[in-house]
Amino acid sequence: MEAKEYIESGILELYVYGLLSETENEEVNAMAKNNPEINDEIIAIEKAIVALSSSFSPFHSVANYEKIKSKLELKHAKVIELEPTRNWSQYIGWAAAILLLAGIGYQYNQLEQTNTQVVNAEVVKAKMEKDLNALELKNKASETNLAVVRDANNTVVALGGQAVAPQSSAKVYWNKETKVVYVDATGLPEPPEGMVYQVWSLKLNPLTPTSIGLLDNFKLNDQKMFAVDNATDAEAFGITLEPKGGSLTPTMEQLYTLGKV
Q: Find the helix packing angle between 62-75 and 36-55, rounded to 10°.
A: 160
The average pLDDT across 34-55 equals 79
Distance CA 219, CA 196 (A): 11
Q: Are residues 163 and 249 in the same domain?
A: yes
- Whole-number Å distance between alpha carbons of 23 and 30: 11
3-state secondary structure of 176: coil
pLDDT band at 118 (very low <50, low <70, confident <90, very high): confident
Tens-place pLDDT, residues 63-97: 555 655 565 554 444 555 555 555 555 566 677 77
Name the residue range of residue 178's domain: 154-260
**196, 243 Cβ separation under 8 angstroms:** yes
Mean pLDDT of the chain: 83
Q: Which of 15-24, 83-92, 193-202 has the highest mean pLDDT?
A: 193-202
Q: Is residue 80 part of a domain?
A: no
Query: Which pLDDT score is estimated for 74?
Result: 46
Cis omega before residue 206 (within 30°)? yes
Task: Examine the domain organization and report whether 52 and 135 are in the same domain.
Answer: no
pLDDT of residue 75: 45
114 is a domain residue: yes
Above 50 in pLDDT, residue 99?
Answer: yes
- Residue 235 within any structural domain of the chain: yes
Backbone angles phi, psi at 203, to 5 degrees: -100, 130
Is the domain of 248 the same as that of 158?
yes
Query: Collapsing DSSP states into helix, strand and coil, what is residue 122?
Result: helix
Which is more confident, 46 or 164? 164
Range name among 3-12, 37-46, 197-206, 249-258 with the lowest pLDDT average: 3-12
CA distance 258 to 204: 12
Task: Work out the pLDDT band at 203, boundaries 50, 70, 90.
Answer: very high
Global pTM value: 0.51
Domains held by the chain: number? 3
Tell me how far apart the alpha carbons of residues 106 and 71 are, in angstroms, rounded to a whole number. Answer: 59
182 and 236: one domain? yes
* Residue 67 shares a structural domain with residue 97: no
Same domain, 109 and 163: no
State the sign of the Cα–Cα–Cα–Cα dihedral 86, 88, 90, 95. positive
Which of 95, 117, 150 is the endpoint of a domain? 150
- Residues 122 and 177 occupy one common structural domain: no
Evaluate if residue 193 carries a pLDDT over 50.
yes
Q: pLDDT of 101-112, one tens digit each?
A: 788 888 888 888
CA distance 248 to 232: 18
Domain stops at, among 95, 121, 150: 150
Q: Which residue has the higher pLDDT, 210 or 20?
A: 210
